[in-house]
Amino acid sequence: MDTSKLHSVKALLDSGATESFIDWDFVHLKGINTRTLSCNILVFNVNGFPNKAGQISKVIDVLLHYKTHSERILLAISGLEKQSLILGYNWLKDHNPKVNWEKREVEMTCCSLQCEGRHAQRKE
């Protein structure tokens, strides 16, 4: 949010991830500014073991654009290996998008008022 730089990235929709994440290597490579959390967050894999990337200590605040959809989102930074961006259950629940798995397309049909309302709340 603070640099107004545009970056293109493919996102993985993952209902098994409780939150939304961005890869540390992507953030570092693109020179995206980060914020340090006041306390670290433990990350566990599906098997219950701690994530090998360690605890989350930093986040980024970005304006996420997809087609006509736009929103401000806070992303936790972690080592994601094969993915650059994961939109997790929190994002899926808030937006409830229509997904065409065959065409690999997402329609943002259910969240326009919700997202506009979020922007108004944040501005206040």
In tens, the pLDDT along 46-88 reads 788 888 888 999 999 999 988 888 899 999 999 988 899 999 9
Residue with tokens 């570092």: 28
Contact status, residue 87 vs residue 20, Cβ threshold 8 Å? yes
Share of the chain above pLDDT 70, in %: 86
Domains and CATH numbers, the chain: 11-123 (2.40.70.10)
pTM to 2 decimal places: 0.82
Q: Which of 9-13, 65-69, 117-121 has the lowest mean pLDDT?
A: 117-121
**Euclidean distance between CA atoms 40 and 99, whole angstroms:** 33
In this predicted structure, what is the pLDDT of residue 114? 52
C-alpha distances out from residue 91 to 3, 25, 61, 88, Å: 24, 22, 14, 6
Is residue 119 pLDDT above 50, yes or no? no
**Euclidean distance between CA atoms 2 and 33, whole angstroms:** 8
